[in-house]
Amino acid sequence: MPETIDKSNQQAPKFGSVFTDHMLRMEYDGERGGWQQPEITKMENISLHPAARVLHYATTLFEGMKAFRGVDGKIRLFRPLLNLQRLNQSAERACLPKVNKHDLLRHIEKLIRLDENFIPFTKEGSLYIRPTLIGTDAQIGVGVPNRALLFVILSPTASYFDSGSKPLRLMADPNYVRAWIGGAGDRKIGSNYGPTIYVQAKAQMYGCQQALWLYGEDEQITEAGTMAIFAHFINDKGERELRTAPLNGLILPSITRRSILELSREWNEFNVVEDKFTMSDLIRLRQENRLLELFGAGTACLISPVSEIFYRNRIIRLPTKDHPNPLYSRFYKSLNDIYYGRVNHPWGYEVGV
Ligand code: COI
C-alpha cells in the first residue's frame, strides 16, 4: 500500500510520493453496456489479470490537474474541462472508451471534497489530481480493449523539481527523439513517457533536471520532459517576441501553454508566435545578446525558468535570471493569482458539492 500523508503535517511532500485516503474508480465493460456506476473507495491496490492489455501494450493514458486552497478558503481547479477534453482525445488515440467529461468532473469534485483536508495550506502547495484510464481485458491479442478501468488518485504536493524553485538545466541531445509527425506524441498516453525515462536518467547524470526534446535535422526545440517550452527574445525586427513550438503533432497540447498564449494575446505587449524555434536560433540569439529568457510551463512544474542547456558536450548559459522584469515570473504570478483565488477569473473553477 502507498504511504498516506499525516494530516497534521502541513509541509507539502515530494511530488507524487504520498496519496490521500480515497480514490475514484469507474469500470467500463463493453458487454454490460459500457461505463458502470462510479464509486469512491478507500485508496487501495487494484487487481489485474496478468494478460490485461495495459500490462503488455501500454494501453494507458492519464491527466494531470491540481486543486488549490484559495486565500478565501475556497478550493479551485484550473480549467478542468480542458483536461477532461484532452483525456477524451487521448482515449480516442489509445482506443479506450471516452467519458462524459461533465459527469466525471462532478465525481472528481466529490472525491476532492472527501479528502480536502489533504490540500496543503502552504503558499505553493496543491493537490495533484491524476485521472488514469487503462485497458483491462485479459486478452493478449493486439486489439481494441473491451474492458477498461478509469481511476482518479490524489497526491498533495509542492514543487515538482527537487531543486525547488531554482532555475533548471536541461539536456538537449539530438540523438533522441520523443515524437514524430504522424505519431502519437501529442496525446497524453503512457507510451509517450516510459521511453523518456532512460533519456531523463542520462540527463540527470549531467546534472540536468529534464531532457529538452529536439526534432528534425534543424533541431527544432519542441518541449521538455514534462513541460512546454517558451523563448522570449528580441526578433529580427527589433521587437519583443514570445515563441513556442506549434501544435503540429510533436508536442502535447498543454493547458498551461494555452493559458500563457491566451494571457499574452490579451496583454498585447509583445509578438506571440507559435512556430519553429531551433537550437541554432537559440545559439544565435544568445550570441547576439537578443535572447531574454527560456522557460518551461506545465501543470506539475508550473512555470520553471531555464538557465542552462547541456548540448553537444558543452553548457550554454542563458540569461533568463538576469532579466530585471522577466516574463516567466509575470506568468507565474498571473496564474498563481487565479489558482489561489487572489483574482476572480473564469479559469478558476470553484469545487462544488
Ligand atoms: C503534468 O504536468 O501534469 C504532467 O502530466 C507531468 C507529469 C508527467 C508529471
Q: What whole-number distance in Å separates Cα of residue 78 and Cα of residue 105?
A: 12
When pLDDT is cut at 50, 70 and 90, the band that residue 122 belongs to is: confident
For residue 236, pLDDT beyond 70? yes
Closest CA to 188 of 177, 179, 199: 179
Alpha helices, DSSP H, located in 183-297: 196-205, 255-267, 279-287
Q: Which atom of ligand 1 approaches the CA of 64 most closely?
A: 3
Distance (Å) from CA 255 to ligand 1 centroid: 11
pTM attached to this predicted model: 0.93
The strand ranges marked E within 64-146 are 65-69, 75-78, 126-135
State residue 5's pLDDT score: 37
Q: What whole-number distance in Å separates Cα of residue 244 and Cα of residue 311?
A: 19
When pLDDT is cut at 50, 70 and 90, the band that residue 41 belongs to is: very high
pLDDT in tens, 273-282: 999 999 999 9
pLDDT in tens, 205-216: 999 999 999 999
The strand ranges marked E within the chain are 22-29, 34-35, 39-42, 60-62, 65-69, 75-78, 126-135, 147-157, 168-172, 210-215, 220-224, 227-234, 240-244, 271-274, 291-298, 302-311, 314-317, 348-350
Mean pLDDT of 140-144: 94
Distance (Å) from CA 298 to ligand 1 centroid: 7
Q: What whole-number distance in Å separates Cα of residue 84 and Cα of residue 340?
A: 21
pLDDT in tens, 219-230: 999 999 999 999
Distance (Å) from CA 300 to ligand 1 centroid: 5
Q: To test ligand 1's pocket by mutation, which of 15, 227, 299 has the most ligand atoms within 8 angstroms of CB?
A: 299
Residue whose Cα lies nearest atom 6 of ligand 1: it is 226
Percentage of the chain exceeding pLDDT 90: 88
Mean pLDDT of 62-91: 97
Of 35 and 226, the one with more pLDDT: 35
State residue 163's pLDDT score: 61
Is the distance from CB of 172 to CB of 148 less than 8 angstroms?
no
Q: Which atom of ligand 1 approaches the CA of 62 most closely?
A: 5
Q: What whole-number distance in Å separates Cα of residue 204 and Cα of residue 242?
A: 28
Is the distance from CB of 186 to CB of 179 less than 8 angstroms?
yes
For residue 161, pLDDT beyond 90? no
* Residues flanking ligand 1, CB < 6 Å: 64, 193, 226, 298-300
State residue 11's pLDDT score: 58
Is the distance from CB of 280 to CB of 250 less than 8 angstroms?
no
pLDDT in tens, 173-212: 999 999 999 999 999 999 999 999 999 999 999 999 999 9
